[in-house]
Amino acid sequence: MKRITYLIYVGDRPDVEMYVITADCKVTEYSIRLESDEPYGKYDFFAGELPSEDHYEVSEFKITEESWTSMVNTLTEVNFMNLLEEFSPDDSDDASSYYIRVETADDVHQSGGYNAGGHMDPESRKFSNARQAVDRALNRNVY
């Protein structure tokens, strides 16, 4: 794996968090504040589309090689490249949407959706494990 992008549409707020993690352990974090009437789908964040600069902040940091390796191992174990591309929405209120995009030398795969990983079926559990691995690597203490 050479690049992992993690995108979080935060609940019922017009906020988006995006992390771009590269194999050299560099992380670029984008904290994006959309206008309340802007639809999430207006920007293709994975393609690098962003709102005007006054609507986001960028920071950079590094993760450890151990964190990178652990995250990659988990993504490999859950067979991420074959996970569902889009998880079906459920009846949850105010849940966040989570997407992970993995780029290898030969392929690109994206998986996620509204409350993705929030259920007990096998595909959801695999996505949940992948999401937790990325959160741990980024030291996002959400679990």
82: in domain? yes
Reply yes or no on whether the pLDDT at 36 is more than 90: no
- Between 3-12, 37-46, 66-75, 108-117, the lowest mean confidence (pLDDT) is in 37-46
More confident residue, 12 or 121: 121
Where does the pLDDT of residue 16 fall: very low under 50, low under 70, confident under 90, or very high at 90 and above?
very high
Range of the domain at 46: 3-137
**142: in domain:** no
CATH number at residue 18: 3.30.1560.10
Number of domains in the chain: 1
Q: To the nearest whole number, what is the mean pLDDT of the chain? A: 91
**In this predicted structure, what is the pLDDT of residue 38?**
76
User: Residue 39 domain-assigned?
Assistant: yes
Predicted confidence band of residue 91 (pLDDT cuts 50, 70, 90): low
Query: With 90 as the cut, is the pLDDT of residue 54 above it?
Result: yes
CB 75 within 8 A of CB 4: yes
Q: Is residue 143 part of a domain?
A: no
pTM greater than 0.85 (yes/no): yes
- Contact by Cβ (8 Å): 117, 99: no
